[in-house]
Amino acid sequence: MKSNHEPHDLLVAFLLVQNALQRRSDVFFQSFGLTDAQFNILNLLAFSEGPIDQLTLTERLLVGKSSISIVLNRMVRDGLVKREEHPKDRRQVVLILTAKGRALWRKVSTRYEKNVREVFGSLPLKRRDSFLDDLEILYGALKRTTESASGKRSFLTLRKTLHQISTKT
């Protein structure tokens, strides 16, 4: 077996893992009639301390933001989320989890957490920091190349971004 893997080998391995994770996620959420984006929205609303405006929700999502209006329209249509006038600014709309949405979130979230523990818990405790260190290096390299192409600069590391996401939910 080859011991000096080329960078392309690492990319292909990473993509294989990402693809397997996405397929597992799709099958899991489909069994509840949801997409990963819809669950992410339910999750953010469930952990919020009140209504969230759409811009804030979009900033916190871990999925593509371009189709958020379509996803939200479907969730409103299905009675999972409702839109209300912002209490201080009538030009804005806030999003609220309905009773039906909260019940579905409760049903899905416990099974979701079990699945996450099953998959990512397979990584031994003593290797998790090293795994995050390696991901941090990749994240930094991706951000540097993206930032140099776009001219925008962000100083958030992977761990800071994780912390920011976890404290906002």
Q: Per residue in 82-95, pLDDT tens?
A: 999 887 877 888 99
Residue ranges, CATH 1.10.10.10, the chain: 7-122
Q: What is the pTM of this model?
A: 0.80
Are 75 and 38 spatial neighbours (Cβ–Cβ below 8 Å)?
yes
Mean pLDDT, range 35-64, rounded to an integer: 86
Spatial separation of the C-alpha atoms in residues 36 and 50, rounded to whole Å = 22
The CATH number of 7-122, from 1.10.10.10, 1.10.1060.10, 4.10.320.10, 3.40.50.10330, is 1.10.10.10
Does residue 1 carry a pLDDT above 90?
A: no
**The pair of three-digit structure tokens given for residue 26, joined into one six-digit string:** 């799709």
Sign of the torsion angle spanned by Cα atoms 100, 35, 43, 118? positive
Q: Determine the residue type at 109.
A: S
